[in-house]
Amino acid sequence: MSAPDNEAGTALEEIVAGDDAAGARLDQWLATALEGLYSRSRLQALIRDGHVTVGGAAVTEPKRKLLVGDRVRLTPPEPEPAEPRGEAIPLAVLYEDDDIIVIDKPAGLVVHPGAGNPAGTLVNALIHHCGASLSGIGGVRRPGIVHRLDKDTSGVMVAAKNDIAHRALADAFADHGRSGGLERAYKALVWGIPLRPAGTIEAALGRAGSDRTRRAVVPQGRPDARHAVTAYSVLERYDFAEDGKSDAALVECRLETGRTHQIRVHMAHIGHPLIGDRDYGAAFFTKANRLPAPLCETVSAFPRQALHAWLLAFDHPVTGERMRFETPLPADFSALINGFRAL
């Protein structure tokens, strides 16, 4: 075949599978047929998103086996804009001035655009709300962002509206409050009750195997190991189960470092994963079956990790004034806790 035209949004020349395609995986064969134009991982993503057809029908399984004579066509998607666009996404603004904006982020809202989330993020909402004032020092994909919460974690966040504020806040978060200027506290509902009413978890975090999105406790000497410290204290105990197999606790966690998924990984590491955490607490999901109705249904249906950033305090990056913001638990989290309290 001739060299393919890879203009985005335009179908590449149709490729007819030859004898070498018999029984081959679609993604592997296509990577060879396109002469390295796309990586195999990129082709897998394009196939899953429906951009490849075989015999005129969309195929979404990269492992699909080919037959001699199959007619394969790839139609790449339109390119994404180089910079995020403003979107009229509602924001719960707790405070705003010319330098910063503090919001109560709802669960389900991604902080900044990335793979799989090109739009509909907090950044898109901030661009629409703040306009041209939003700081760009964090890069075009993360204007104004100095810290983040996981998609399914709710709570207080601050963003910078100019470069001066951005630099000062970024330094404060990089320092992790060691100088006393930054304070962050979370509430988490976990399986089981920690033996000690308060404690500190100090365990390095790194990539969990080949999965780029997950983290795990790793040896301190590993090249990707990052020092991580979480202090926790038990706020409420729910020890109603005689066998102790469905006990739970409401804990407060305070960060001395700010690593990806830090609280979730650290609490799972000591045997108390967050309720609803499908990444780090999947092995505990059957515990909900031991709970009486309707709590069993409430816990089983809870769609996210039970984690809320209820407190954020910092020194204003320009005036130096002490700023402190607290937010109540969102309705779904409150309902979950009230179900345990009722027992």
CA distances from 61 to 49, 67, 131, 180, 236 (A): 10, 15, 41, 52, 47
Q: Say which residue the tokens 């949004």 belong to.
A: 9
Residues 150, 152, 277, 279: which is the catalytic one?
Answer: 150
The answer to whether 62 and 25 are in contact (CB under 8 A) is: yes
150 is catalytic: yes
Catalytic residues: 150
